[in-house]
Amino acid sequence: MFAFLQLSQLSTGATLGYLCVVAGFLVIVASVVFVVKGKAVLGESGAPNAVEWGKIKTSLTSAVALFVLGAVLIALPLWLVATSEEKRQEEESRFRAERARQPAQALLTGKINGRGDKDLRLLLVVKPFYDQNYSGDISWQIPLLATAKSYALFYIDGDSIVGQQVFSVGGAEPGSPDQTIPLPPWDLHTHSSSAPKVRPALEVSDAELAKLNLR
Amino acid sequence: MQSSRNLTFVSGLLLAATLANAADLAGRVTVHSTPIPGALVTANLLGPRGAAAVSVVRTDSGGVYVFRALRAGEYILLVDLNGRRIYQGRITLTNSALVKNIALQ
């Protein structure tokens, strides 16, 4: 019962494999028992060429063939498992090699709310441009350019740019790990992002700074 | 032995003189009375030909910046927030500590 319960949790292939191995053992045991317990029947030349056990009588060749059949039944599922494992590893290494050739990706995440719950258009300025419309949670997978370390993301409401966010990425060479870039919250209901609106206080003019070689 | 003692004495005098000319500069950066953490504060000591020495610190979670042991002199103080200049000012640092709060609207 326990064995049956265990078998019922396995796949069809695995179940057949186990049954095959069990059958192989039984066939081997039967052939061995037959040879050991059976009575040798002598041929015309005087050499034993047949084995008789009860009413069953068979040649030695058949008994050996039965033994070999049992061995094959045991070996076959094991060979199939080994072959499939090899194939799986080949597939996996092919997938890894393919993945290493792909450009690295970054996932932009954040939260935005447009006026009147309308979607806000996000414009990422790289060539070619990428753009998506979002309201609420942002989850935007973008391919990174191997040569670009810095990106500017524009928030567009209708035809007007309502915000801009610049972000930098780490390694973007093909095969680099994916990166997640958290964006600051942006809510047009309150007309604010997390960055405070500041009126700069320039007590020293830019021209004066330039004279002092300061920027 | 005597020359070694003299050297130590002179070094001590120089160090004391340097420390005597050094002062701390500190303050708080606020916008609408809210402290601004992470702002980049740059103190440029003015020399005859522009900045003679530059010190940079970031404001802490309370919006406070502190420069330790700055040389006395005239400074241009710059504050940047998220890559944007929000303050440019001039201060004069003497040998005593100075508190310069930057309150923005």
| pLDDT, tens only, A2-61 | 455 455 567 787 888 888 899 999 989 888 887 777 776 665 666 666 777 777 777 778
pLDDT in tens, B54-72: 788 888 888 899 998 898 9
The complex scores an ipTM of 0.75
Which tokens hold the place of A96? 């890894």
* Tally of domains within chain B: 1
Q: How confident is the model at residue A1 (pLDDT cuts 50, 70, 90)?
A: very low
Residues 151-210 of A with CB under 8 A from B: 166, 195-196, 198-206, 209
Task: Note the Cα A59 to chain centre separation in Å.
Answer: 55
3 state SS of A2:
helix
Cβ neighbours of residue A159 closer than 8 Å, sequence gap 6 or more: none
Threshold 0.80, pTM exceeds? no
The CATH class for the domain spanning A105-193 reads mainly beta
Q: For residue B104, which residues of chain A lie inside 8 Å, CB to CB?
A: 198-201
Reply yes or no on whether the pLDDT at A172 is more than 60.
Answer: yes
pLDDT in tens, A98-146: 878 777 788 888 888 877 777 877 877 664 466 677 778 888 888 887 7
Q: Which of the two residues, A182 and A195, has the higher pLDDT score?
A: A182
- Residue B6 located in a structural domain: no
- Residue B81 located in a structural domain: yes
pLDDT at B83: 66
Residue B56: closest CA among B25, B99, B33, B100: B25
Say if residue A165 is exposed, middle or buried (CB neighbours under 10 Å; 0-12, 13-18, 19+).
Answer: buried
pLDDT at A26: 92
Are A195 and B81 a contacting pair at CB < 8 A? yes
- Residue B1 located in a structural domain: no
Which domain covers residue B71, as residue numbers?
A: 23-104
Report the DSSP pairing between strands A201-202 and B84-93: parallel
- Residue B74 located in a structural domain: yes
User: Distance from A211 to chain B by nearest Cα, in Å?
Assistant: 8
Are B86 and A201 a contacting pair at CB < 8 A? yes
pLDDT in tens, A72-88: 999 998 898 899 899 99
Are A212 and B85 a contacting pair at CB < 8 A? no
- Residue B64 located in a structural domain: yes
Residue A79: CA atoms inside 13 Å, Cβ hemisphere, count?
Answer: 7
- Residue B35 located in a structural domain: yes
For the domain that residue B81 is a member of, what is the CATH number? 2.60.40.10
Q: Which of the two residues, A137 and B3, has the higher pLDDT score?
A: A137
Q: For residue B36, which residues of chain A lie inside 8 Å, CB to CB?
A: 196
